[in-house]
């Protein structure tokens, strides 16, 4: 076996202590009873025990658990999805209330089989949560819905508090890493979302460790800022199964700290960067900190003008 084919040993800072206390078990039981899916489970998120057991947060995954795409980094099942569950938005909204969430993230499998990519169900989920939980902020994390502008308009019309859509990887690696999605379509999706509702923050996530260079990471930051993205998250890619892309590098926490500083110098309202960071990790804190940073920048700009 060549060195390139060997698996790189996982470093100490990526070893996680599992916590399966009553909060974790209770949340898992509720998800099963309400027939709900979470990206936490389906994508094998490394933070599931912290989020479920300690923080009592979860990222709901709507539109079923079967994705029409087969991205080479993702563990979600691929195939032909089942019919839509039109009662799902109400069940999600009820669960948000049962959990007492102040911030919720709603994502979904890619549904390229649907004319609107699932936008209407997304929008109805946002409306249902807001109707039943008026003090909860809502973040949505959709697929690119094949770049359909009307689908994006439908979703943005529900006015989520944050529009999150992931760039995932650098331009050079995008064709190899992602299925059907493209680097430029993602940038266009984020730009259009901001143009439709300028006051709604946009957010995107980058996973590193797939063979990208530091220069390419910085280029991605510049591309996101050029399309008015407000919040960025950067995390370590972890290979979910042997069938998926291998990890090319494990970044040290100090490298993540440096990338965060670079991102903030580019003008992002907030950047969360670390080995275990995922798009929705500490999402409630991300939006709060972004608002604080934006206010601070406004004050600085006003002071400079005076």
Question: What CATH number corresponds to the domain at position 162?
Answer: 3.20.20.70
Which residues lie below 8 Å from residue 22, measured CB to CB, with a gap of 6+?
A: none
Domain contains 107: yes
C-alpha torsion angle, residues 20, 21, 24, 25 (rounded to 10):
90
Which residues lie below 8 Å from residue 74, measured CB to CB, with a gap of 6+?
A: 43, 67, 240, 244
Domain contains 245: yes
Q: Does 271 show up as a binding residue in the annotation?
A: no
In DSSP terms, 62 is beta-bridged to 108
Least confident of 86-100, 215-229, 269-283: 269-283
The Cα 172–Cα 211 span in angstroms is 10
- Beta strands 77-78 and 103-108: pairing type? unpaired
Least confident of 234-238, 243-247, 287-291: 287-291
Q: Higher confidence at residue 73 or residue 30?
A: 73
Domain contains 165: yes
Domain contains 1: no
Average pLDDT, the chain: 84
- Give the percent of the chain with pLDDT over 90: 58
**Average pLDDT for 39-43:** 53
Q: Higher confidence at residue 16 or residue 152?
A: 152
Q: Does 136 show up as a binding residue in the annotation?
A: no
Q: Which residue has the tokens 């590193």?
A: 208
Domain contains 294: yes
Which pLDDT band holds residue 175 (cuts at 50, 70, 90)?
very high
H or E stretch at 253: helix 253-265
Domain contains 242: yes
Give me the domain span that covers residue 194. Answer: 17-300
pLDDT at 180 over 50: yes
The Cα 271–Cα 277 span in angstroms is 10
Domain contains 25: yes
Q: Cβ of 171: how many Cβ atoms within 10 Å?
A: 16
pLDDT at 10 over 90: no
Domain contains 11: no
Backbone phi, psi, residue 59, to 5°? -105, 110
**What total of structural domains would you count in the chain?**
1
In DSSP terms, 207 is beta-bridged to 235
pLDDT at 288 over 90: no
pLDDT at 132 over 80: yes
pLDDT for 1: 40
The Cα 224–Cα 226 span in angstroms is 5
Pair of tokens at residue 288 = 């709060």
**Average pLDDT for 113-138:** 95
- Beta strands 202-208 and 66-67: pairing type? unpaired
Q: Higher confidence at residue 268 or residue 5?
A: 268
pLDDT for 2: 45
Cα–Cα distance list, 20 to 99, 188, 234, 238, 243 (Å): 17, 41, 27, 22, 28
Burial 76-95 (b: 16+ CB within 10 A, else e): bebeebeeeeeebbbbbbbb
The Cα 141–Cα 278 span in angstroms is 12
């Amino acid at each position: 076996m060549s060195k390139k084919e060997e698996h790189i040993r996982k470093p100490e800072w990526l070893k996680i202590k599992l916590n399966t206390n009553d909060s974790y078990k209770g949340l898992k039981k509720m998800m099963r009873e309400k027939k709900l899916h979470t990206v936490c489970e389906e994508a094998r998120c490394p933070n599931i025990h912290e989020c479920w057991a300690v923080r009592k947060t979860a990222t709901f995954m709507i539109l079923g658990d079967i994705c029409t795409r087969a991205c080479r980094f993702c563990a979600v099942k691929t195939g032909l999805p089942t019919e839509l569950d039109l009662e799902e938005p109400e069940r999600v909204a009820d669960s948000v209330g049962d959990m007492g969430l102040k911030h919720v993230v709603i994502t979904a499998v890619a549904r390229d089989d649907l004319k609107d990519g699932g936008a209407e169900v997304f929008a109805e989920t946002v409306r249902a949560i807001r109707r039943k939980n008026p003090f909860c902020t809502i973040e949505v994390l959709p697929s690119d819905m094949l770049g359909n502008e009307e689908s994006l308009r439908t979703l943005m019309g529900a006015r989520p508090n944050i529009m999150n859509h992931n760039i995932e990887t650098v331009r050079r690696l995008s064709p190899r890493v992602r299925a059907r999605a493209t680097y430029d379509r993602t940038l266009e999706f984020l730009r259009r979302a901001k143009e439709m509702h300028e006051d709604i923050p946009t957010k995107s996530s980058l996973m590193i460790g797939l063979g990208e260079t530091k220069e390419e990471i910085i280029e991605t930051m510049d591309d996101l800022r050029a399309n008015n993205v407000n919040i960025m998250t950067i995390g370590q890619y972890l290979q979910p199964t042997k069938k998926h892309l291998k990890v090319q590098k494990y970044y040290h926490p100090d490298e993540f700290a440096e990338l965060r500083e670079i991102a903030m110098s580019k003008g992002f309202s907030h950047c969360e960067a670390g080995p275990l960071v995922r798009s929705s990790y500490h999402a409630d804190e991300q939006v709060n900190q972004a608002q604080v940073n934006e206010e601070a920048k406004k004050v600085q700009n006003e002071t400079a003008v005076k």
